[in-house]
A and B are shown apart, each in its own frame.
Chain A
Amino acid sequence: MRVLLRILAPVLGLGLAAVGAVLVAEVVAAWVWSAGPGLLVPWSAWRAAVEDIRWREPAVPLAALAVAVLGLLLVLLGLLARRNDIVLIGRGVDTTVTTSPRVLARLVGRRVRAADAVAAASITATARKVHVRAQGRDRAGPGLRETVHVEVDGVLDELSLARRPRVTVTVQESRTVSELASSPFNTAASANAGDERSEEFT
């Protein structure tokens, strides 16, 4: 989103400037040489056309709705192109430490997977919420959820995040080794690295 805005911003700016320049040039030209055909734009032909078209004709609302949808997309682009940084408490007032949800997800995932009782895990992290889906090993007891929770809390404590995200843990039934091989948790290539959330799978 931010890249799209970076590309679109100068294009939109130059577009606005071009519209303004044509408007000024045409009005001045029409003022100086009254009833001319138009300097850059064939106003006379356009004027004849719009004098014939009525508001209720089907093309008018369609074009208007297309403009409205374009406006809606621009509004959404402007609202969604904000940074979704995760802020860590830096050392001293003049240091700011930030990272991305993707990095937080990988740090949490690394710690959770290192736990003996965890066979596989997938993590979804945003600045507000960390969700862990963990799968235990055969010998993992009923305390798997607490184990994962403690590991995640440990990572968050170490990082000392400025705003601590809510942690949720979902524990899945443990599977045998052959089932694990065909598990969707193993599809590492499907990792979702979207703007708003970051997931990773093992």
Chain B
Amino acid sequence: MSELEASTTAGPRRRARSAVARSSAADRSLAVLLGVVLLVGGSLVALLAYGAFGSGRATRPLLDPLVVDSLRAQPVLSRVVAILAGVLLVALGLAWAARSLRPERQPDLVLAADADTTIVVDGNAAADAVAGQAAALPGVARARARMVGHREAPALRITVWLTDEADVVEVLLLLDEDVVAGARAALDPQPLPVAVRLELAAAGSRSGPRVV
């Protein structure tokens, strides 16, 4: 199943969870994979050098004539395997780099779509409107919002910076009833999963509403 299919068919709870932050699972897995290869390879070479696999083996040259001879016995196979390994490394490396450099998607919201007309709200504009409303709530110093996910399955990520006097429970209630409810009503019947991130405004920051 592709990433797009997975995110459009996933339940709202899962989509809300995945909207919390950009996933770093692929980067982490690849870093661990590469690390394990280097760790195991380095350790085996060190053991070989210290004579753990026999002292005779440790006295042989790095480029062993036995290995060279066996490669020369199958020249075409050795070259094809080397080229395939190189192509695999290029593909994996470029895919990894492109994936981690690609900016996160900011999908637009499709409010209504039929055969003739499609009404689309710019994702940035919708997120800015939500952030403006959230920043005006009592107890919120500033707020930031962005649309994440795919156009077919958008989700909303809101970060609010609370003031020192803020009542967290009240802020969450107002956020849900006054801010998110409006965005959800506009998208109805399509669900809009929401991920809220709570931060505390730096001590001494002004407590008035501010939109960034």
Check A78/B35 contact, CB under 8 A, given A94-B191, A107-B168: yes
Option from B19, B31, B41, B46 in Cβ contact (under 8 Å) with A9: B31
User: How many B residues have CB within 8 A of the partner chain?
Assistant: 77
- List 17 extra interface pairs beyond A96-B13, A96-B16, CB under 8 A: A6-B100, A13-B97, A21-B90, A23-B89, A50-B62, A55-B45, A60-B62, A76-B35, A78-B27, A79-B28, A81-B24, A90-B172, A91-B176, A94-B15, A95-B193, A95-B194, A97-B196
B192 CB → nearest A CB, Å = 7
State A22–B20 Cα separation when bound (angstroms).
40
Specify the chain B residue showing the minimal Cβ separation from A7: B100
B103 CB → nearest A CB, Å = 12
Does more than half of chain B's interface fall in helix, strand or loop, or is it mixed?
Answer: helix
B18 CB → nearest A CB, Å = 9
User: How many A residues have CB within 8 A of the partner chain?
Assistant: 73
State A80–B211 Cα separation when bound (angstroms).
33
State A21–B97 Cα separation when bound (angstroms).
15
B95 CB → nearest A CB, Å = 7
A96 CB → nearest B CB, Å = 4
Check A98/B16 contact, CB under 8 A, given A12-B34, A20-B89, A103-B198: no
| Contact sample, A vs B, 5 pairs, CB 8 Å cutoff | A9-B27, A20-B86, A50-B63, A106-B200, A107-B168
**Which residues on B sit within 8 Å (CB–CB) of A93?**
11-13, 16
